[in-house]
Every structure is written in C-alpha cells, then in structure tokens.
Amino acid sequence: MFTGLIRAIGTLRAIENNQVQVSCPVADLLPELELGDSVAVDGVCLTVTQILPTGFLAAVSPETTSRTTLKQTTEEIYVNLEPSLRVGSKLGGHFVTGHIDGVGWLETAEQTENAWEMSFQVTDPRISRYIVPKGSVAINGVSLTVADCNATGSWFKVAVIPLTYAETNLQYLQPGNLVNLEGDVLGKYVEKFLRLGSHSNPALASWAELSQTQAAIEDPLTPQFLAEHGYL
C-alpha cells in the first residue's frame, strides 16, 4: 500500500530476464530498503529482488508490462519512487495500491500563477469510469485530485502545485506521453458491492456465481440506479 506522495525521482532501464534496474538517490531511499520490499515505480508496485550500491533490481511480469508504461523501457527513463506505507506513517495523499488500471496520455500542460494545469485523455472505459469530479487519481504514482472531467471520464484535468511538479517526473511530460493511471480503490469496491447487492447475496454466492454475475453486468452506474438504491 502506498500514499501517492513521491519520495524521489530515479531512473529505470530494462535488463534481461524480465527485470528492470532502478537507480535512485542513495540518501533518499536506499538506507531503508530491504530485500523483498515493495516500491512504487511510476505507480507500479514492484518487489525488490536485489539491492545495488545505487539502486535495486525488480522483476516485471508480462501482465505488468502489458498494462503499464514499463513496456517502454528500451531507453533509460525518469521514474517516481515511493516506498510502501509503514504502520503509523502519515497518509498525506490517498490509498494507492500500485496496481495500475491502464495508461492514458498527456494532452496539455499549462503553467498558471499557482499551479500547473495538466489535462489527460484515456480511452479504456475500465479506467475512465473511476474518474469523477474531485475524486482521487494516481498519475505515475502521484496522488492528485480531479479538478474537472467530462461525463465519461475519458478526459480530465488536474492542478499540480509547483512543489509536486518540481519533485516528480510530471515535469518531464510532453503532450502525447503515456502515463500510468490508477483509480481510487474505494470507488471500485463501492461499485462492486452496489452491483452485486442488486443481483445476488455476496455472502452466500460462490466465486463462480459472483464471476458470472459480474460478467453479465456491463452497464455503468447511472444517476437512476443510485437514486433507486438511496444514494441520491
């Protein structure tokens, strides 16, 4: 579990055997890292398999490469780094799992007097359905609040304060660059419970029954559905 508050910017490059090598500032992360620790690398939860003098190695599964920007590691790239949340630590962002839903891309980035306004697009409805006004979203692992979005969530805007912009790899993004996106995990659970509650009893149904029920439900949540169940 992570918070979306980036601790350092590092660099990543792919090496053989489905592994990546991450280099990071020695003073920021390395002193507390141990073998087997989880680290969010551009929002992707990876496990430390070997500690190096200036970084660490991590294995990357085919599922991870297919869903994230880590498949673009033919050249060295800047990545945001965050160690896992410790018990008793401050939760300054929001709950981030490190399980990326998919990728979107930067549309525009404009500097204003108090922030950088950045707009993004995403075509996958499995991601866009969790983009809601004033909701939380993790972009390359950075916890941000949706300032504006269209009805489907396929376009949204965030306001990034200068400190966050300067201390993350958001500063290097150019229009068209891909980013890792993770929707708010709380919203995902609420959606599932609402859907299953109207079709079956989750406490009694088998996993097979729940899977069949979920597969059969394709329509997104609507204001009418929420009103019928007492949420509006």
Return the CATH number at 48. 2.40.30.20
Q: The whole model's pTM is what?
A: 0.81
Evaluate if residue 215 carries a pLDDT over 80.
no
| Mean of pLDDT values over 213-218 | 50
Q: Which of 2-16, 137-151, 217-231 has the highest mean pLDDT?
A: 137-151
Among 17, 89, 11, 83, smallest CA distance to 46 is for 83
Task: Look at residues 55, 83, 111 and tell me which one is the last residue of a structural domain.
Answer: 83
Does any domain span residue 92?
A: no
The kind and range of the H/E element at 187 are helix 185-197
Do 192 and 164 have their domain in common? no
- The rounded distance, in Å, linking the Cα atoms of 38 and 75 is 23
Looking at the structure, do residues 107 and 48 belong to the same domain, yes or no?
no
List the structure tokens of 97: 């799992």
Q: What is the pLDDT of residues 49-104, one digit of tens each?
A: 999 999 999 999 988 988 899 876 668 899 999 999 877 777 777 889 999 999 99
Residue 45 CA to residue 43 CA, distance in Å, equals: 6
Residue 140 lies in a domain: yes
Is the residue at 216 inside a domain? Answer: yes
| Contact yes or no for 69/103 (Cβ under 8 A) | yes
Domain contains 90: no
Would you say residue 75 lies in a domain?
A: yes
What pairing do the DSSP bridges indicate for beta strands 102-111 and 116-121?
Answer: antiparallel
Look up tokens 């995990």; give the residue.
Answer: 185
User: What is the total count of domains within the chain?
Assistant: 3
Q: Give the range of the structural domain holding residue 195, as residue numbers without chain letter.
A: 187-228
Q: Do 80 and 42 contact (CB within 8 A), yes or no? A: yes
